[in-house]
């Protein structure tokens, strides 16, 4: 089973995808972490973040390794170094959308992501282009979104609770998220889009557990319906669903 979860920055995709994977006993891949890892290392090694070939070379020589951890989600290693926390730094936040614009790097990472999906019995993969590009044939596709102020509020809460290093004010956080949205939606290569057939979940008023419950219920009901052959899916239809 393949489940694709896409959506804008801070919509809660990572925590929802991780919990859905745990509940359904599937592997979990946070593809944003891969773009973040390349961004961190490009910044540390003074690699031009607009030079696609240089970014690919960096990724190829990195020995990037991704493991699953129940608490942390995905653990990211780069040449043996655990960079799971470092990829969440404000510097990486600020630059990652520019790095993710590179078609050369996207091709490289998408190929890795497909390989990981192929080797897993089942997977929940989250990012921006999973349902549209990485796994267009995914069994279930979700587009998680929330109003920008709510996304910033959640991120603000996480920064405070986890004591994450950040010098942003709340207003700056709203601005940073809006800028990333603009770049992710506006880029030429596989921009953030709602995949055909995706369930759209606007999570603005809902707590995390309710969103997880909704995703799991949609998957279980659709699976049962498919097994009973009394439902037909239409790939070109968008199922707009409010919790
Ligand atoms: O989900 P995130 O905030 O960790 O993602 C970091 C950046 O990576 C985000 O600005 C867009 C980019 N990204 C992407 O372009 N494609 C993906 N599949 C995942 C993330």
pLDDT digit string (tens) for 130-179? 999 999 999 999 999 999 999 999 888 888 887 766 777 899 999 999 99
Q: Could you tell which of 28, 31, 73 is best to mutate to test the pocket of ligand 1, judged by most ligand atoms within 8 Å of the CB?
A: 31
CB-based contacts of 206: which residues, under 8 Å, 6+ apart? 214, 243
pLDDT score at 231: 52
Following DSSP, what letter does each residue of 177-195 receive, concatenated? HHHHHHHHHH-SSS-S-PP
**Cα distance between residue 24 and residue 20, in whole Å:** 6
In contact, 26 and 3? CB cutoff 8 Å:
yes
Superfamily of domain 2-242: P-loop containing nucleotide triphosphate hydrolases (3.40.50.300)
- Global pTM reads 0.91
**Mean pLDDT, the chain, as a whole number?**
90
**How many angstroms separate the alpha carbon of residue 163 from the centre of ligand 1?**
22
Higher pLDDT, 71 or 80: 80
140: left (phi over 0), alpha (psi -120 to 50) or beta: beta
In contact, 11 and 144? CB cutoff 8 Å:
yes
Task: Give the other-Cβ count within 10 Å of 109's Cβ.
Answer: 23
In short, whether 28's Cβ falls inside 6 Å of ligand 1 is no
- Over the stretch 224-242, which tens digit does the pLDDT of each residue have? 888 886 655 545 444 444 3
Q: What percent of the chain has pLDDT over 70?
A: 92
Taking the CA of residue 10 as reference, the ligand 1 atom at the shortest distance is 3
Q: Which residue's CA is the nearest one to ligand 1's atom 9? A: 97
SS3 238: coil
Q: Which residues pair with 123 in a beta bridge?
A: 2, 27
Q: Which of 31-35, 69-73, 115-119, 156-160 has the lowest mean pLDDT?
A: 69-73
**How many angstroms separate the alpha carbon of residue 105 from the centre of ligand 1?**
12
Q: Which residue's CA is the nearest one to ligand 1's atom 8? A: 32
pLDDT score at 230: 60
In contact, 111 and 103? CB cutoff 8 Å:
no
- Over the stretch 46-75, which tens digit does the pLDDT of each residue have? 999 999 999 999 999 988 999 887 777 889
Structure tokens at 127: 């990012």
């Amino acid at each position: 089973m393949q489940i694709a979860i896409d959506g804008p920055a801070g919509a809660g995709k990572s925590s929802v995808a991780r919990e859905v994977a745990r509940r359904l006993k599937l592997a979990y891949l946070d593809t944003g972490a891969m773009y973040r890892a390349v961004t961190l290392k490009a910044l540390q090694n003074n690699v031009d973040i607009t030079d696609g070939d240089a970014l690919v070379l960096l990724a190829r020589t990195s020995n990037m390794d991704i493991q699953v951890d129940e608490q942390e989600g995905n653990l990211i290693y780069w040449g043996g170094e655990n960079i799971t926390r470092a990829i969440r730094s404000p510097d990486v936040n600020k630059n990652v959308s520019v790095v993710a614009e590179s078609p050369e790097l996207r091709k490289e990472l998408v190929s890795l992501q497909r390989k990981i999906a192929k080797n897993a019995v089942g997977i929940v993969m989250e990012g921006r282009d999973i349902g549209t590009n990485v796994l267009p044939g995914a069994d279930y596709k979700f587009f998680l979104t929330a109003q920008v102020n709510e996304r910033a509020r959640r991120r603000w809460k996480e920064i405070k609770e986890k004591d994450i290093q950040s010098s942003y004010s709340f207003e700056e956080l709203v601005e940073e998220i809006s800028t990333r949205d603009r770049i992710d939606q506006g880029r030429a290569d596989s921009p953030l889009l709602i995949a055909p057939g995706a369930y759209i979940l606007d999570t603005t008023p809902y707590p995390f557990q309710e969103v997880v419950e909704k995703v799991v219920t949609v998957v279980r009901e659709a699976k049962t319906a498919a097994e009973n052959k009394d439902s037909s899916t239409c790939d070109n239809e968008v199922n707009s669903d409010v919790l």
